[in-house]
Structure 1
Amino acid sequence: MKGVILCGGLGTRLRPITYSMPKQLIPIANRPIIFHIIDSLVKANITEIGIVINGKEDIFKNVLKEYENKDISYEFIYQNEPLGLADAVLASERFVKDDDFIVILGDNFYEVNLTSLIKDFYHTSSSCSILLYEVEEPHKYGVAEVKEDQVLNLEEKPKNPKTNLAITGIYIFDSNIFKGCKEIGPSWRGEFEITDSINWLLYNGYKVTYKILKSLWIDLGTPGDILYANNYKLSKIKSNINGLIDEKSKTWGNIFVGENSKIYNSIVRGPAIIGNNTIIENSYIGPYTSIMNSVKIIDSQIESSIILDKCLISKVSHVVDSSIVGSNSTITSNNSQKKANSFVLGMDSNLILY
């Protein structure tokens, strides 16, 4: 079985971060979202992976260097335009050939035993298996109507959903899905929907099964979703200090500190993760904070935030809270009296707080 990760789309709800980087590369606990997906595939012994993109190839290549010397192979698959999930799946046909394959949307964050899903797929002898999740607002998702162990029908973002079973964006297919992708037309949204392709399988006598996920699943569409996933991942880290924490500093909870990082006269409350070559001085780092590499934080307070590479945060005496700060950004303060600040900054931002 092969793996296909869909990394197209514009990520408009995550702007301005996604003006400069694909949303699949935003870090969760200092690892890009796509790394968490690749790791789950490798854990299920899937080592041939196709990554569907429609831009920013150089950025993907640079980030994915981490996997070059590992026991997996990956290749980029090009979708000329973001015309919908069915179009993205169809773009992978040459890579997949006649093999079975698992498709995962690149903005999914989950705790799923993929090995168990694959075993169920083969046990049921189906052409397609989809993973479902019970949600409170099903009209925002693709929704499945099911009976016993089989899917009856799928509908994309229905006004009056028949169930609360949302399609998570994790699918297992055999090569028959390509027939469905070729037969459908664009939906009312102007996209080639994967739900329509799966319905084609249903209407043409192919078996479609499902599993309902009871553990964690998040569709990472907004900054709040990113921060929630980050908090969840940090809640599971273990302490590992590879850098320097001086005797004037105090720490509580589980804290990861990367190589060549230095913490002087500061308070760090875990869970928190600090990358490599980072300096924290005269500052407070609160729980659920992820700080990437080559960052400088001086005379400042931060908690429950994600700070990307090469940022400088200086003299921010009030708390930077629930924020995402793009790489190479600078935040300084000029006697602000606010108790807390929350924001999302894109790459190379320069913010002065008054």
Structure 2
Amino acid sequence: MKISDAVILMAGTGSRLRGSAETIAKPLIPIVGRPLISYAIDSFDKAGVETIHVVVGPNGDELAAAVAPLLPALMKFNPIPNQNWQKQNGVSVLAAAGKVRAPFFLAMGDHLFERSILDQLLAQADPTRLNLAIDRKIASIFDLDDAMKVRTAGNRIVAIGKKLDDYDAIDTGIFICPESIFEYLRRVLRKGDCSLADGVRLMAEEGNALAVDIGEAWWQDVDTPEMLGRAEQEATRLL
């Protein structure tokens, strides 16, 4: 499978990390001497992505200007403003509707991950359905309380949520998405707001959300000073 576009969500304010880096936007925080977001950009480049779309919120122009030089020379760059950045991250995904070629990669601007996760998605994804990279190594999750839990049946997602009691995997925040994700998110948004997990949940209810196991691959959400410390210890494997 060939995926030409990737969407990276960067519209959040990163408030839980402000104590460690008040003046630096979270995607630009240095990890082993490089901006956090540069690792994802490099992985997408090696996976064959041609265009990176970044969804930005407050100070979006400044953030986009700082991210642009991190891209390889031939990779296209498309900043997408989210005027409703105070809402949940499903609204940030919706900001990319009509601007991205599907199927597309979707990732979070504050996640580090090994490129092999993208390879697993490319090898196993169904381009007509949502495909979420999931981690079954639950004992290795750094902050399990805050993690997005997933319950699966074979390769199907049957439930998702941070408060799930019965789960067998963790959401890594890395997806291959079909065009239909936008319509599912619009359906949820009729309530006034929507998270990405809300959209995944609705797709799962209709049999349109699949889980792709990352196996032994490593990833890390960087959402608190403690997670930042863990990421700095582990990120040398990405160099």
Query: Which aligned pairs between 1:66-81 and structure 2 lie closer than 5 A?
Result: 66-67=69-70, 70-80=73-83, 81=85
1:152-207 Cα shifts (integer Å, max 9, x gaps) = 1222x11x5211411111111110101110001488xx851112112222333435
Aligned with 1:26 (options 16, 29, 41): 29
SS in 1 for 2:152: strand
How far is the alpha carbon of 1:65 from its aligned partner?
4.3
- Cα shift readout 1:61-99 (whole Å, capped 9, x = no counterpart): 4423424661100111111123112111111112115x2
Per-residue CA shift, 1:137-163, capped at 9, x if unaligned?
6442221111112111222x11x5211
Q: Aligned partners of 1:46 and 1:192: how far apart in 2? A: 27
Q: State the AA in 1 paired with 2:41.
A: I
Quote the residue 1:216 is aligned against: 218
In structure 2, the partner of 1:151 is 157
- Partner secondary structure for residue 11 of structure 2: coil
Q: Of 199, 203, 206, which residue of structure 2 is paired with 1:204? A: 206
Matched, 1:13 2:19: no
Quick check: 1:126–1:207 contact (8 Å CA) kept in 2?
A: no
Q: Tell me the C-alpha RMSD between the 2 structures.
A: 2.4
Structure 2 match to 1:84: 88
Q: Which stretch shows the higher mean deviation, 20-29 or 128-137?
A: 128-137
The alpha-carbon distance between structure 1 residues 17 and 138, as it changes in their structure 2 partners (threshold 3 A), is: closer
- The equivalent residue for 2:50 is 47
- Which of these residues, 92, 96, 103, is aligned with residue 100 of structure 2? 96
Query: TM-score, structure 2 length as denominator?
Result: 0.86
Gaps of 5+ in 1: 238-354
Q: Higher strand share goes to which structure?
A: 1
Number of aligned residues: 230
Q: Residues 176 and 227 of structure 1: is their aligned pair in 2 closer, same or farther, counting only changes over 3 Å?
A: same
Cα distance per residue 1:215-252 (max 9 Å; x no partner) = 21111012222222223234776xxxxxxxxxxxxxxx
Q: What TM-score do the two structures reach when normalised by structure 1?
A: 0.59
C-alpha distance in structure 1 between counterparts of 2:71 and 2:197, whole Å? 34
Larger Rg: 1
Counterpart check, 1:177 vs 2:181: yes
Partner AA of 1:151 in structure 2: I
The percentage of aligned residue pairs carrying the same residue is 22
Q: Which amino acid aligns with 1:112?
A: R
- Which of 41, 53, 60 aligns to 1:57? It is 60
Q: Secondary structure at the match of 1:70?
A: coil
Distance change in 2, residues 1:103/1:125 (3 Å) = closer
Where does the alignment leave 5 or more consecutive residues of structure 2 unmatched?
Answer: none
